[in-house]
Amino acid sequence: MDQLPAASLAPDSPQGYANHLAGLIYTQTMEIIEGKATNVALLYLMILLIPIYGVYGVYQYRKSYIDLPYVGIRPGLFGSWKAGYYYLHNSADVVWEGYQKYAREGRAFVISTPKRWLVFLTDPDQIAELAMVADSKVGFYEALNMKNKHNRVAEPSLGDYINTYHVDVIKSQLTPRMASILPEIRQEGNVAWKDTLKLGPGWTKVGIWEVVIQVVSRSANRCFVGLPLCRNQELLDVFRAYAIRTNEVVYMVDLAPRMFQPLLEWVLLKRFRLPQRAMKILKPVFEERKRMREELGQERWDAEKPNDSITWIIDAAMKKDAHQQTNEQMSWRLIWLNFAAIHTTSMSTLHILYDLAANPEYIDPLREEIIATMDQHGGYTKEALNNMLKLDSCLRESQRWNCVVSIVISKLTMSDYTFKSGKVPLHLPKGTFVTAPATATHLSEEIYGPDAHIWKGFRFSEMREKMTNPEESSKLQAAATSKEYLAFSHGKHACTGRFFAIYQLKMLLIYCLLRFDIRLPLDRNGKRPDNRYILGRRSAEINGSLEFRERKEWNELKTRWGEFDEEED
């Protein structure tokens, strides 16, 4: 085998050592390629490569350091690793510490996470600017792909600006059709509650997460894939497993050295072939729908097409290139809608149920509002749901307290970027990760007043009831985002499904509150389960329980508006 000439240099100078090392690596690599490597040679190569990789990693990490006040462990010898490890276990505390120190002056601060420095903005004007700035300057999908590897663990076109048409499908098709979609989501939710929650006489203790995720997946998928597929348990399980596993895996993989990432992705995610299993179920449905589209012709198709995401995705894909029109590509959009919609809405449902069970004094006023508003509007119309200010307020308060995504608008500077707004000038070099601390902002006393740390279900409805300007009042709706209310993020990449999510949450809660009494198990002493922190991310306790009891009043209520359609069509 040819030797690198440099390897024969005596290692008596830094350059000599570098050449010597390069020669050794070359020799060992060639032996592996030529199949001559022994286990010892492989071990030797690993021993050589790992420290080099480590030193290179630390060099890269240090090079990207940003000159801003930092919070958490000080960078020193191994500081970045220690700090990163600390962040994994204490992310909420570290971010809160930084926010408390620097938010008053409106200064940004920086935290060391295992893989990169993260700049946190505290000035709401700078947060608004970040939310609105062009992606060509501070990129959204670039950050997502680098951190969460969506383009790699899923499908590359889910992480670009050209083919993410499913995002637009929600904005341009789903949201405008909300009034016609609501009855179906409501019906599916009600049937799913009935099918999933099996109660004995008196109070029954229920592992609530499983119930919630089932009710949310079924009712959302009534709109995404329609009947009967929204009750296909295998499909729902695959959608759910894919979302949960992908969410966990991308965080784990991000912690690993880059060269091991593809292997880890395969071991932890890809080998389960979850998308392929969903595609197998979805393929005949797409085929059938495309055939129907062709047979009907444009005019009849427009008049008669089923009102669900399968139709909207086909219509959108037909304006794209041939690759986007394949069943696989279109199935990816449904997998991704489930990814965005199910876990988030289920978490929010879990939080509000825990919040109401821990604050039971809110339940009767909510029931009174629901009944009075439905009496006034003749049932669960879109207008009735819009007019339930107390229910809306509890949802907004629950998300203020426990937003599902605790840091939002995570972006990456594509070139040096100087903020135009803010009390303190801020310049970020190219390649900086910058984000907004949603949870910390929501707990700010400067913004939400001295009771920011108290769960006040009617905080927003009390404010809205005093307002005379409907436009001002609508800014405090649960689905409205602002630079100070970030549960659905804000700006260009705010959640496009938030209107759908809030209507869905309201309908699930209405059924639950009118039909059941709920309470925390007595041994919780009125305290809701604490949140969990996994790899720096926050989640409601999914192993928690609630107790449910059938209400006597249900017998009268279920026929009062003639539409608690619990039975299948």
Binding positions for heme are 495
Structural tokens at position 14: 């830094």
The residue assigned the tokens 């020799």 is 27
Residue nearest to ligand HEM (CB): 497
Determine which residue in the list 87, 109, 500, 564 makes contact with ligand HEM, applying CB under 6 A: 500
Closest to ligand HEM by CB, 6 vs 92, is: 92
Site membership for ligand HEM, residue 337 (CB under 6 A)? yes
Q: How far apart are CA 136 and CA 139, in angstroms?
A: 6
Three-state secondary-structure class, residue 371? helix
Least spacing, CB of residue 501 vs ligand HEM, in Å: 4
Determine which residue in the list 94, 341, 514, 518 makes contact with ligand HEM, applying CB under 6 A: 341
Closest to ligand HEM by CB, 282 vs 347, is: 347
Q: 506, 537, 514: which is closest to 219 by C-alpha?
A: 506
For the chain, what is the total number of helices (H) and then of strands (E)? 23, 13
Closest to ligand HEM by CB, 73 vs 144, is: 144
Residues in 463-492 at the binding interface with ligand HEM, rule: CB under 6 A:
487-489
Closest to ligand HEM by CB, 192 vs 404, is: 404
Site membership for ligand HEM, residue 169 (CB under 6 A)? no
> What letter would DSSP give residue 524?
G
Closest to ligand HEM by CB, 45 vs 505, is: 505
Closest to ligand HEM by CB, 75 vs 497, is: 497
Closest to ligand HEM by CB, 224 vs 380, is: 224
Output Rg (C-alpha) for the chain, integer angstroms: 27
Determine which residue in the list 238, 405, 412, 512 makes contact with ligand HEM, applying CB under 6 A: 405
- Per the CB < 8 A criterion, the answer to whether 487 and 162 are in contact is no
- Per the CB < 8 A criterion, the answer to whether 119 and 432 are in contact is yes
User: Nearest 5°: CA angle at 155, between 150 and 159?
Assistant: 50
Least spacing, CB of residue 278 vs ligand HEM, in Å: 17
Q: In this structure, are strands 117-120 and 433-437 parallel, antiparallel, or unpaired?
A: parallel
Closest to ligand HEM by CB, 80 vs 402, is: 402
Three-state secondary-structure class, residue 9? coil
- Per the CB < 8 A criterion, the answer to whether 138 and 411 are in contact is yes
Which among 55-63, 130-138, 204-212, 402-410 is the span making contact with ligand HEM, rule CB under 6 A?
Answer: 402-410
Least spacing, CB of residue 409 vs ligand HEM, in Å: 5
Site membership for ligand HEM, residue 153 (CB under 6 A)? no
Binding positions: 495
Which among 59-67, 408-416, 454-462, 548-556 is the span making contact with ligand HEM, rule CB under 6 A?
Answer: 408-416
Site membership for ligand HEM, residue 537 (CB under 6 A)? no
Q: How far apart are CA 550 and CA 489, in angstroms?
A: 37
Residues in 214-253 at the binding interface with ligand HEM, rule: CB under 6 A:
none
Q: How far is CA 55 from CA 28, 51, 257, in A?
A: 20, 6, 12
DSSP letters spanning 431-466: T-EEEEEHHHHHT-HHHH-TTTTS--TTHHHHHHHH
Site membership for ligand HEM, residue 344 (CB under 6 A)? yes
Amino acid at 254: D
Structural tokens at position 3: 């030797």
Amino acid at 79: G
Site membership for ligand HEM, residue 113 (CB under 6 A)? no
Q: How far apart are CA 566 and CA 197, in angstroms?
A: 13
Least spacing, CB of residue 438 vs ligand HEM, in Å: 7
In the complex, the residues that contact ligand HEM under the rule CB under 6 A are 167, 170, 337, 340-341, 344-345, 348, 404-405, 408-410, 487-489, 493, 495-497, 500-501
